[in-house]
Every structure is written in structure tokens, then in C-alpha cells.
Amino acid sequence: MKKNLISRQTLVTRAAALAAVALLGTQIAACTTTSPNAQGSDVMSSTNKHATTNSQADSVLSRLYTTANGSRDLVARAKGVLVFPSVLNAGFVVGGQYGEGVLRTGGGRPLGYYNIASASVGFQAGAQSRALIILFMTDEALQKFQNSQGWTAGVDATVALAKIGANGAVDTNTAQQPIIGFNLTNAGLMAGASIEGTKITKQNN
């Protein structure tokens, strides 16, 4: 009986994940107005795509610095800075998220390029976009991330989401954690938003 229950739960989870990916792809496609002929000319080489990602990452970090006092110092001290300039969340009952980003040193040198993806079940309407910044403050935390074949927040490591104090600065306790995360929208930092279950994998190129 237990085996049957586990099997059913596994099937439901897999079905939800597949539905989320399909739904997210449909919604992204619906937002695309480029004609088939134009799409061929719009395909960027990996070099150009990475240059765009880095430029967008610079803009995101600039917004972070003006939003959270003390964040510039944290980034400078970080052993690794993972920036996803745009993470798209889409869905209704079954949802998913996807984004592309860059891992850098605290000084800004690129170390690699990554994808972020996850599926979820629960009420969620429409599509939303946000930037995600993850700071690896220790060599150990960074090495574990780089050596992983697929790193999941909340499973492979705990990510302490940044809290902002009354003075507008990053909370002292947060700043002492080995891995710190920031969810950033056009309106500012997202309070109470979790990134647990978010899977991050390295791009092949």
C-alpha cells in the first residue's frame, strides 16, 4: 500500500514539473512577436549572449547598491557573486521559473554561466519577473557550488535571504551567513520570498 502511495505521489510530482515547464514555455512564446525569418538573424553567439548577461548583471548590481545599504561591501567581500538579471515566474495552479545568469568573483571577473529552473504547485496567477543575486561569502560555499552537478537551494545549501533593517542597511545577522540571497524587483527587495527548491545548473557553453 505504501509503495502504491509513493508511486502515485512521484507521478503527481513529475506530472506537475512537466506541466510547469510546458506552461512556462507557452507563456514565453506568447510574449514573443518576432517573425520566424527574423528569429534566425536574432540568434546570438554565446559570446554576445554572455556579454549581454554581464551588462544586465552590472545594471542589477547597481540597483541593489542603491536599494540596500551595505550590499556593495558584501559583494566586494564575496568569493563568488551569482547574478540572474531576469528570472521569469509564470503559471496558474502549476507554475515554473526560468532564468540565465553569470557567476563572478567579487571583483567582477566571470567564472561561468548558469541556468535557473524550478516547478511548483499551488495558486499563482500571471507572470512575474525578478532579479536574483546569490553571494557565496566563503571559499567552501563557492567550491561546493562550483563542484556540484546541479545545485538546489535549501537542499545542497541554505541561502539566507537578506533582511533590511530600519536604517535601510542589510541586517547584521544576514551579513554573517556563508550564502546570502537577494530577490530584487523594480519596486525593491521582495520580503518573505523563498528560493528553496530552486535548481541551478551550469551552461555547457
Greatest pairwise CA separation for the chain in angstroms? 56
Helix (H) or strand (E) run with residue 91 in it:
strand 80-91
Give Cα separations from 83 to 60, 96, 129, 131 (angstroms). Answer: 8, 19, 14, 8
Give Cα separations from 203 to 45, 110, 114, 143 (angstroms). Answer: 14, 13, 5, 17
pLDDT tens, residue by residue, 115-134: 998 765 544 555 578 899 99
User: What was the pLDDT predicted at 84?
Assistant: 97
Distance separating alpha carbons of residues 82 and 95, to the nearest angstrom: 23
User: What was the pLDDT predicted at 43?
Assistant: 46
Q: How far apart are the first and last CA of the chain?
A: 46
Q: In a 3-state reduction of DSSP, which class is residue 67?
A: helix
Q: Dig out the grid coordinates for 9 from the structure.
A: 505521489
14 φ/ψ sector (left φ>0, alpha ψ -120 to 50, else beta): alpha
User: What was the pLDDT predicted at 167?
Assistant: 79
Q: Which residues of the chain have pLDDT under 50?
A: 2-43, 122-123
pTM for the whole structure:
0.74
